Amino acid sequence: MGCMFSHLAAKFAFFPPTPPTYHLTKNPDGKLTAVSASSSSTFPAAGDSSIDVRVVKTRRGNKVAAFYLRNPNARLTLLYSHGNAADLGQLVDLFVQLKVNLRVNLMGYDYSGYGASTGKPSEYDTYADIEAVYECLQTEYGVGQEDLILYGQSVGSGPTLHLASKLPRLRGVVLHSGILSGLRVLCHVKFKFCCDIYSNVNKIKKVKCPVLVIHGTEDDVVNWLHGNRLWKMAKEPYEPLWIKGGGHCNLEIYPDYIRHLYRFIQDMENTTTKSRLKTIWQEIRRQEESKGCCSFKLCRPKCPSCPKPSCDCGECGCCKCECPSLQGCFSCCKKPSCVGCCCPKFNCCSCSCFGKPKCPKCSCWKCLKCSESECCRSCCCAGCFSWLCCCGGGKRNEQKTRGETTVAKSEG
């Protein structure tokens, strides 16, 4: 049933130009050339080595057409996923402008069923298409994910975020008039349905690189709210570009478009692999610290690896762990060994910190074995947040006899 709905959704999502605006021919030297259907012009022109025309086979058996444009001054490569109503023949001029103005290498491709690509368009075919093109960039041009920026326009934001969610060291992502999901373009829903396609609202959370969102405020195809929410949900959002008065298919004509995009490319170039790894490790450390360093539910002491402690017992004001050893994190929760006395209120413990407390009537840790309840009150446990945590937990029954009545009390 879900597959049937997906095919139905594809009919409303993909509108490849018919007939295609170009076709491919093979030169006598074996190289492919694209021929425009309208002007019969060819690209690349004879002797032009700055453009490669390629055909890439996908894991789903289709063959997709791709154009690779070189820039000798480029440091980064842009992988461009276009919208749902265009093919490469209509975009080649834009690709040349982006290559020159942004100083990048650029790889554009047609989805299955578009242009000179074989097969029929579908959500999962576009995923296979972009994966195959990325593999081509790796094997044929030596482009790693650290030097790659993914660019997705409209429906192209779907395969873009699909690939971005799988590449942890990706340099950056650009979402141009991106969508939250296919169904959310048609109606405002907050739930996921089996017939929905391109669930970007979930995949954006898995992207670990800077995300630039570009959207027109007057977009009547994909509402501006889609771009705004994608930007807010990104883990590492870059300063967005909201083009006032911009529609769905005309953002490239606004001067701010190329200006802001160029600044983003420059910032990504200046972001070294070392600084990216540092940012990633800081994020991982921040997540670990938010969980706390103590697995016990008694106390999470303050220590160098846990600067933001939280406490479940609510009575551990004396816990100020300064123990240089890793075991010091549990110093007030259990009875680990420690090089010195960490707890300022454990004066009676002296330098035998968390060993056997100096108690005249109790020489063991487990006060439960002691018949004299007063020993627990006189030892270090009395000055701590709770003597039960120092003694290993459990209940203490203190019996006091008044006449013929015995009252049991549990301290903890």
Element (H, E) at 213: strand 211-216
Strand partners, 56: 64
What lies within 8 Å, CB to CB, of 404 at 6+ separation is none
Q: Which residue has the tokens 């396609």?
A: 197
Which of left, alpha, beta for 392 (phi over 0: left; psi -120 to 50: alpha)? left
Token pair for 345: 């209120």
Element (H, E) at 286: helix 273-291
248 is catalytic: yes
Residue among 219, 226, 260, 386 flagged as catalytic: 219
How far CA 5 is from CA of 49, 121, 147, 190, 203, in Å, comes to 44, 14, 37, 19, 21
157 is catalytic: no
DSSP E strands in 299-411: the ranges are 397-402, 405-410
The DSSP 8-state label assigned to residue 371 in this structure reads S
How far CA 311 is from CA of 295, 299, 300, in Å, comes to 11, 5, 6
Radius of gyration of the CA atoms of the chain, in A: 32
For 23, the 3-state DSSP assignment is strand
Residue among 6, 154, 165, 331 flagged as catalytic: 154
Residue among 162, 215, 248, 260 flagged as catalytic: 248
* Angle value at C-alpha 182, between 138 and 179, nearest 5 degrees: 65
Strand partners, 34: 24, 43
39 is catalytic: no
Token pair for 262: 């160029």
DSSP 79-107: EEE--TT--HHHHHHHHHHHHHHHT-EEE
In this structure, the number of other CB atoms found within 10 A of the CB of residue 238 comes to: 20
The residues assigned a catalytic role are 154, 219, 248
